[in-house]
Amino acid sequence: MGQSTISLNKFLLVLTILSGLLSLGNVDHDRVVGCIEMERKALLNFKQGLKDPSGQLSSWVGEDCCQWRGVQCNHTTGHAVQLKLRNTNSDMDLNGDGEAAMHALGGEINPSLLSLKDLNYLDLSMNDFGEVQIPHFIGSLEKLAYVNLSGAHFGGAIPTSLVNLSRLSYLDLKNVYFQSNERELHWLSGFSSLKYLHLGGWNLTKAAAHWLQTVNSIPSLLELHLPRCSLTDIPLTLPFINFTSLSVLDLSNNGFNTKIPTWLFNLKSLTHLDLGSNNFQGALPEAIANLTSLQKLDLSQNNLENQLPRNLGKLCNLRTLKLCYQQIYR
């Protein structure tokens, strides 16, 4: 009996020790690491160069920069991986009364951000940087996969260093007004991993002859947004199509003034197609029925005519169809 009690006690002791060790292992595994001191100082230097009229970065105090507004860290390493500083007031400025401008960040973007070696997400959209050029050093943040600078009043020329961002999958530069090489798109062909591209509002008049050739060199693309880009040339045929995985294509509000190109109907992964306000002419081709994944189709404000294709009913996934201001009949 005594030996049984001793054995049981030993067993319980061993079990307790093992449980303790397992608990320590779990705590260590789930341990949240605070921010890296060098990166905290880098963020403070970045803040110092900014104009922050409404105190958007007032939380940037204290030792743990991972708790600061817009900063997200890797909980295991403590390294800053995301910087989300979009002016969210712009999303609520429905009255256009300038309220969003009062909350916009501005000033200079300090190269101290180069200390954020693991940064993979950068969003400075809808702020006001006074048409300064996108800093060249951004191209040295090699782990960047997401860049959104839309509506942030950048200007100048596109820094050639951006092509160094080999991991870039998301690039939003809509309503960014460049003064020099905005007409050239050859630099885009260097982004072999790019999945999302938005250049809405760019003046691409001088790129009319080669824009599609450049886009066709990015087979990874899933979404392409080129609305209001002053494009006037779109080839009716393509010898081959590389970007066959494209699911969203927005070419609205350009001025193509031609028939709808037949190659569009080979993009069988398309779920959203917006060709509105383009002065497309002629009949809607029956090949539209090839786009069986299509959920949204906008052909409004063109000069299409004649009867709708009878096989349009094959688009079983179609939820939205816009045909207003046409000479189309059933």
The answer to which of 8-12, 104-108, 159-163, 240-244 has the lowest mean pLDDT is: 8-12
Q: What is the pLDDT of residue 98?
A: 62
All structural domains of the chain: 33-141 (3.80.10.10), 216-329 (3.80.10.10)
Where residue 329 falls among pLDDT bands split at 50, 70, 90?
A: low
Q: Answer yes or no: is pLDDT of 24 > 60.
A: no
Q: What is the pLDDT of residue 95?
A: 45
- CB-CB contact of 323 with 301 (8 Å): no
Name, in order, each residue with C-beta under 8 angstroms of 129's C-beta and a sequence gap of 6 or more. Answer: 105, 106, 107, 109, 152, 153, 154
Q: What is the pLDDT of residue 177?
A: 74
**Structure tokens that stand for 160 in this block:** 């050639």
Q: What is the pLDDT of residue 307?
A: 79
Q: Return mean pLDDT, the chain.
A: 87
Give the mean pLDDT of 52-61.
95
Q: Answer yes or no: is pLDDT of 30 > 50.
A: no
Separation of alpha carbons 247 and 168, rounded Å:
18
Separation of alpha carbons 79 and 229, rounded Å:
39
The answer to which of 23-27, 264-268, 303-307 has the lowest mean pLDDT is: 23-27
Give the mean pLDDT of 311-325.
91
Q: What are phi and psi of 213, to 5 degrees?
A: -60, -40
Q: What is the pLDDT of residue 214?
A: 93
Where residue 184 falls among pLDDT bands split at 50, 70, 90?
A: confident
pLDDT tens string 59-90: 999 999 999 999 999 999 999 999 999 998 87
Q: What is the pLDDT of residue 186?
A: 85
pLDDT higher for 92 or 302? 302
Q: What is the pLDDT of residue 157?
A: 84
In the chain, pLDDT over 90 holds for what percent of residues? Answer: 68
Name, in order, each residue with C-beta under 8 angstroms of 247's C-beta and a sequence gap of 6 or more. Answer: 222, 223, 269, 270, 271, 272, 293
pLDDT tens string 94-135: 444 466 678 899 999 999 999 999 999 999 999 999 988 999
pLDDT tens string 251-286: 999 999 999 999 999 999 999 999 999 999 999 999
3-state SS record for the chain? CHHHHHHHHHHHHHHHHHHHHHHHHHHHHHCCCCCCHHHHHHHHHHHHCEECCCCCCCCCCCCCHHHCCCEEECCCCCCEEEEECCCHHHHCCCCCCCCCHHHCCEECCCHHHHHCCCCCEEECCCCCCCCEECCHHHHHCCCCCEEECCCCCEECCCCHHHHHCCCCCEEECCCCCCCCHHHCCHHHHHCCCCCEEECCCCCCHHHCCCHHHHHCCCCCCCEEECCCCCCCCCCCCCCCCCCCCCCEEECCCCCCCCECCHHHHHCCCCCEEECCCCCCEECCCHHHHHCCCCCEEECCCCEEEEECCHHHHHCCCCCEEECCCCEEEC
Separation of alpha carbons 165 and 50, rounded Å:
24
Q: Answer yes or no: is pLDDT of 142 > 90.
A: yes
Q: What is the pLDDT of residue 29?
A: 43
Q: What is the pLDDT of residue 86?
A: 97
Amino acid in the structure at residue 182: E
pLDDT tens string 196-213: 999 999 988 888 888 999
Q: What is the pLDDT of residue 205?
A: 87
- 49: closest CA among 113, 95, 140, 97? 113
Separation of alpha carbons 291 and 266, rounded Å:
8
